[in-house]
Amino acid sequence: MATELGPTPVKSPASGGTPVHHAPKGVGEDNRIASQGRWASWLLAPTIIALATVIVYPIISAIVMSFQKDAGLDPATGLFTAGGSAGIQNYVNWLAQQCSAPDGGTVACPPGTLGGQFWSATATTFFFTIVTVAFETVLGFWMAMIMAREFRGRSLVRAAVLVPWAIPTAVTAKLWFFIFAFEGIANKLFNTTILWTGSEWPAKWAVVIADVWKTTPFMALLILAGLQMIPAEVYEAAKVDGTTAWQRFRLITLPLVKPALMVAILFRTLDALRMFDLPYILTGGANNTTTLSILVINQIRQGFNSAAALSTITFIIIFLVAFIFVRFLGANVVEQSGATGKGKK
Amino acid sequence: MKTPRFLLPAATAGILALTLSACGGGGGGTTGGGGGSDADANMDARGPITFVQGKDNNNVIRPLIEKWNAAHKDEQVTFKEQTDQADQQHDDLVQHFQAKQSDYDVADVDVVWTAEFAAKGWLQPLKDKMAIDTSAMLPATVQSATYKGTLYAAPRTSDGGILFYRKDLVPNPPKTWDEMMGMCSIAKQNNIGCYAGQFSKYEGLTVNASEAINSAGGSVLNKDGKPNLNTAEAKAGLENLAKAYADGNIPKEAITYKEEDSRQAFQSGKLLFLRNWPYVYSLMSTEGSSAVKDKFGMAALPGKSGPGASSLGGHNTAVSVYSKHKATALDFVKFLTSEESEKFYATQGSLAPVLGALYTDQELVAKLPYLPVLKTSIENAVPRPVTPFYPAVTKAIQDNAYSAIKGEKTVETALSDMQKSIESAGAGS
Amino acid sequence: MTTATADATTLRARQDKGRKAAQNREKWAQGRTYISALIVLLWCLAPAYWMVVTAFREVGFTYDTSILPTHVTLDNFRTAFDTSFGNRFGQALLNSVFIGGVVTVVSLLIGVFAAYALARLNFRGKFLVLGFILGASMFPGVALITPLFQLFTNIGWMGTYQALIIPNISFVLPLTVYTMTSFFREMPWELEESARVDGCTQGQAFRKVIMPLAAPAIFTTAILAFISSWNEFLIASQLSSDATQPVTVAIANFAGAQPNQIPYTAIMAAGTIVTIPLVILVLVFQRKIVAGLTAGAVK
């Protein structure tokens, strides 16, 4: 019969047993499966077509190009001529950090080439992702809880929370660059002489701070929407039952907000893995703040086919992360009805 | 149970159609081999053209274009303005040229991209029918526009590094690097930094590092375009910077400096010597917050035993091989590089002209008192490596010079890594 | 008799104490809320404050680090809107609003359809479709520029509005679909059922019962879509023309009076101008964002 999806329905005792929260059932599936399939096709068609055109086509063309060699210089004419097929050489070069040697073979990439930066860029990207998403989730949750409360001036707080995200990235990046300049306001305010963009860890934290400031509103907004779906009666009932605030948070808020939270974290993670604007403008990728996207852009200027290979590798990395996320962290984002429910979590 | 049946085939068909249509139009990647036929086409055609350039800060191009348009009713020039970011300008040109678009006829090309674009077959060789006269132009500027013996662009504006110094503290500017380092005691007495250039990890570092290497007698590439960094001179040059940073003569924060930050430091009185481009002259003399208004002088960069080799800046103007009206384009290029226009660049925009004679022109010197100094600078200038692999070469220089200056590796290791990276870049794919 | 009164008095006294204690706890909780709200305000607005202060500062004093406004001037705002040197900031603002609006409306529409199918309908290949939609968010955007540039050049759409709108819709769709799907799954659909039992058609039931409950989700998604489109720079910088460029490209086109000079003050002024309409939009719609499940709607 009805399969359960989502959190266990909470019946509010006070309102006479009317369930206010319910998992959707597969309504009349046995009878209407065929027409549902056709319905679904029509409803999904615009989405699929939009995505196929703008994103799938470039991905396919990039993958095709990644199997070509970059143009080489013909020593006689001094002009670039199209390289031939490269097979998987581009991929191997990136993963093994190999570069072309003058005598025709490959050699370990010396410092100062893009090829030698693949693994450090991957590590940096993961560092940024994990740290920024962690901070943004915690801060975003806290802000969402505050925004959901009743107090005077809360509309001001709600508007203020969106300001960091509403300012275009172009301005935000320059603003933080300005703030973190050696003679900028950050050093002045805290009476420090930190070389924010000039040494490794200050630069990394500068990027983290700027990104957390800018993107926490995204998390806060999604989590707030999730919080709004929890009816007040549930909390009332729990208070009557004598629970502490922490228990209410743990047993009511967290489980009920989990769907929205998971969507927020998943998408934020995907975005963070592709981080580009902020580190590029703040530090130019110096001092070990080069992310994979920055590496791609730099490589595009040196040879497009190799850049296509790197983009595909990045794509695969991100895919693996998303896969692990969905599979093992129980994000109910790709579940179908009848699949593993989330009862235990 | 019913899969969305028609969806998958429809999407696949759509994607295939798009892929085919796009492939027909020239998919990505560079295929410069076809330059021959493109270069021969449309050489006599006349008609309206588009001129593309980065931000016209000083408002010099618009009046010139208006002037041209008034005199050429059937060959109007449209101005396409890019941003003032060099990277964006470069990528924008690459996108259009790679797609073999004919919408950019005449393009303003930074001196360091000319070889790259020429090697990709995007620039019209300026020879035979399309030749221009470069005899009156400063040799270094012509060198930057030449690739494999052929001229591919017309030098239009130039730029050279200048040493700014506090004339209230140091009446006579130093002629050599060692002399300048010797004067650092004066800086210490006054509690300010001694010397700064642009040492953040970006193109400006390539400029400064090349200057250091070239001024000490070394060079990044040899005559055949191969890297030549494992020399004593190159080591001495880079060592100058590394040692000064370690000793504190270059303040620690200079590692974050770009042009504006270094200008700001000197302008607020925190530096004794500054290496920068001439553009800072008007800002330092007129900005409200400037603490050095009448206290600074300008001189040629210090070298080993005389004026140092500054890195050449500036822009060249090139004709696209895909242009449909090349005869008009060529005439426009000649117009932009005529003596009258060059003078206008100097008077209106404070931009350094490429015609040597103008540097002693009375009218110009009155307007830009630093013109003689700039002339010395450009006469002794060495272009940054003229190579089609410039993006890779500049990265090799930046990364390793940055580490060397910060003391993260020895100068020898840095130069050797630079050498290997440049060799690897030139090795092809 | 006296013991009873005494008991009653003590009981009342204890009740009063209990009530007072509860009131105190309430006050403490309110106080904590206000303090937290203040911290949130400070965190969010401090850098924005610095942006505004710099926007009002004279260009010659850009690097002044006094916290209070000094050398106040409106020049930067005038510069931002100045059209004499090819700046088109005003036009760009309108472009951004137009593009953002279209992107939001279209992606919401498409997203709601898709989300309804994914949340409510049962069909084979759902997992695949969900994976496909998510997969579209996994490719580095920076690598899409060149193929998109060539695609739009080939079909002659360079510099048109659709060249900016369609990619933005595609970037925003995965998030829209997933958010709406996740919210639709939490909806009390049996209310729709009971409405239909009461005589509404499926469409009416959807519109009158479900949509109001989904309002927070829809408005939240709308804001997310709008701001994502607002912030987009890379694709816009390549595919837009002078007439269609959005605000992000226009700001990147600001330049100082001299080459190499970064016009911080003008950029900050532009940032300030750009933020104001968004803040107003949010203030106007913020009730809708936080509308919860009210008993009234259920009834």
Tens-digit pLDDT profile for residues C80-103: 888 776 678 889 999 999 999 999
Helix (H) / strand (E) element for C64: namely none
pLDDT interval class at C205 (50, 70, 90) = confident
Q: Report the pLDDT value the prediction gives residue B3, as an integer from 0 to 100.
A: 45
Mean pLDDT of A260-280: 92
Domains of chain B: which residue ranges?
46-159+312-379, 162-311+389-426
Q: List the single residue in B with minimal CA-CA distance to C256.
A: B57
Helix (H) / strand (E) element for A85: namely none
Which two three-digit tokens encode residue B220?
């990044």
Taking contacts as CB-CB distances below 8 angstroms, the residues of chain A near C141 are 274, 276, 293
Buried b (16+ CB within 10 A) or exposed e, C122-144: bbebbeebbbbbbbbbbbbbbbb
Which two three-digit tokens encode residue A158?
């709600």
C215 and C274 fall within a common domain: yes
Three-state helix/strand/coil letters over chain B: CCCCCCHHHHHHHHHHHHHHHHHHCCCCCCCHHHHHHHHHCCCCCCCCEEEEECCCCCCCHHHHHHHHHHHCCCCCEEEEECCCCHHHHHHHHHHHHHCCCCCCCEEEEECCCHHHHHHCCCECCCCHHHCCCCCCECHHHHHHCEECCEECCEEEEEECCEEEEECCCCCCCCCEHHHHHHCHHHHHHCCCEEEECCCCCCHHHHHHHHHHHHHCCCCCECCCCCECCCCHHHHHHHHHHHHHHHHCCCCHHHHHCCHHHHHHHHHCCCEEEEEECCCHHHHHHHCCCCCCCCCEEEECCEECCCECCCECEEEEEEEECCCCCHHHHHHHHHHHCCHHHHHHHHHHHCCEECEHHHHHCHHHHHHCCCHHHHHHHHHCCECCCCCCCHHHHHHHHHHHHHHHHHCCCCHHHHHHHHHHHHHHHHCCC
Residues in chain C whose beta carbon is closer than 8 A to a beta carbon of chain B?
58-64, 71, 85-86, 123-125, 129, 145-147, 149-151, 153-155, 237-238, 242, 252-253, 255-262
A2 touches chain C (CB under 8 A): no
Count Cβ–Cβ pairs < 8 Å, chain A vs chain C. Answer: 325
Among candidate residues A216, B14, A50, A211, the one with its CA nearest the CA of residue C171: A50
Report which of residues C286 and B215 the model is more confident about.
Answer: B215
Mean pLDDT of B370-398: 92
Q: Report the pLDDT value the prediction gives residue B14, as an integer from 0 to 100.
A: 54
Mean pLDDT of B71-96: 90
Please state the domain count of chain C. Answer: 2
Which two three-digit tokens encode residue C152?
């739009």
Q: Report the pLDDT value the prediction gives residue A21, as an integer from 0 to 100.
A: 47
Distances, alpha carbon B233 to alpha carbons B182, B310, B411, in Å: 21, 16, 12
Which two three-digit tokens encode residue C155?
């079909």
pTM of the complete model: 0.87
pLDDT interval class at A183 (50, 70, 90) = confident
Average pLDDT along chain A? 83
Q: Cβ of C140 and A314 within 8 Å? A: yes
Nearest CB among A56, A101, A195 relative to B252 is that of A195
CB-based contact A42:C119 (threshold 8 Å): no
Q: Within a 10 A sphere around the Cβ of B88, how many other Cβ atoms? A: 18
ipTM of the complex: 0.86
Q: Report the pLDDT value the prediction gives residue B7, as an integer from 0 to 100.
A: 55
Q: Report the pLDDT value the prediction gives residue A341, as an integer from 0 to 100.
A: 35
Q: Report the pLDDT value the prediction gives residue B252, as an integer from 0 to 100.
A: 94
Boundary of a domain, candidates C55, C73, C96:
C55
Q: How far apart are CA B399 and CA A110, in angstroms?
A: 11
Range B162-311+389-426 has CATH code 3.80.10.10: no
Helix axes A154-166, C211-231, angle to 10 degrees: 40
Q: Cβ of B255 and A301 within 8 Å? A: no
CATH class of B46-159+312-379: alpha beta
Q: Who contacts C57 (Cβ-Cβ below 8 Å, separation ≥6)?
A: C64, C69, C70, C71, C72, C73, C76, C265
CB-based contact A308:A65 (threshold 8 Å): yes
Q: Which of B256, B402, B403 to mutate to test the interface with A (most CBs of A within 10 A)?
A: B256
Q: Who contacts B403 (Cβ-Cβ below 8 Å, separation ≥6)?
A: A111, B409, B414
C190 and C278 fall within a common domain: yes
C236 and C123 fall within a common domain: yes
Buried b (16+ CB within 10 A) or exposed e, C217-243: bbbbbbbbbbbbbbbbbbbbbbbbebe
Among candidate residues C186, C210, C116, the one with its CA nearest the CA of residue A23: C186
Residue B116, pLDDT > 90, answer yes
Residue B386, pLDDT > 50, answer yes
Average pLDDT along chain C? 84
CATH number at residue C220: 1.10.3720.10
Q: Who contacts C147 (Cβ-Cβ below 8 Å, separation ≥6)?
A: A57, A58, A61, A62, B22, B28
CB-based contact B54:B84 (threshold 8 Å): yes
Taking contacts as CB-CB distances below 8 angstroms, the residues of chain B near C253 are 55, 81, 83-84
Q: How far apart are CA A235 and CA A256, in angstroms?
A: 12
Q: Which B-chain residues 257-276 have CB contacts (< 8 A) with chain C?
A: 259-260, 264, 268
CATH class of A127-304: mainly alpha
Mean pLDDT of B77-85: 88
Residue C173, pLDDT > 50, answer yes
Domains of chain A: which residue ranges?
33-65, 127-304
Taking contacts as CB-CB distances below 8 angstroms, the residues of chain B near C261 are 57, 260, 279, 283
Q: Which B-chain residues 359-398 have CB contacts (< 8 A) with chain C?
A: none
Q: What amino acid occupies position B206? A: T
Report which of residues C165 and C193 the model is more confident about.
Answer: C165
Q: What percent of chain A has pLDDT over 70?
A: 85
Whether C32 is in a domain gets the answer yes
Q: Which of A51, A63, A94, A277 to mutate to test the interface with C (most CBs of C within 10 A)?
A: A51
Residue C15 is part of which domain span? Answer: 2-55
Q: Cβ of B260 and C260 within 8 Å? A: yes
Q: Report the pLDDT value the prediction gives residue C198, as an integer from 0 to 100.
A: 82
Report which of residues A101 and C299 the model is more confident about.
Answer: A101
pLDDT interval class at C32 (50, 70, 90) = confident
Give the range with max mean pLDDT: A7-16, A264-273, C197-206. A264-273
Q: Report the pLDDT value the prediction gives residue B18, as an integer from 0 to 100.
A: 53
Residue A169, pLDDT > 50, answer yes
Nearest CB among B28, B29, B32 relative to A79 is that of B32
Q: Which of A152-156, C2-6, C246-250 comes out lowest in average pLDDT?
A: C2-6
Q: How far apart are CA C252 and CA C258, in angstroms?
A: 15
Residue B159, pLDDT > 60, answer yes
Q: Report the pLDDT value the prediction gives residue A12, as an integer from 0 to 100.
A: 40
Tens-digit pLDDT profile for residues B17-65: 555 444 443 444 444 444 457 888 888 899 999 999 998 888 899 999 9
Q: Which of B95, B97, B108, B110 to mutate to test the interface with C (most CBs of C within 10 A)?
A: B95
Coil, strand, or helix at residue A14? helix
Q: Report the pLDDT value the prediction gives residue B154, as an integer from 0 to 100.
A: 96
C17 and C163 fall within a common domain: no
Mean pLDDT of B83-96: 89
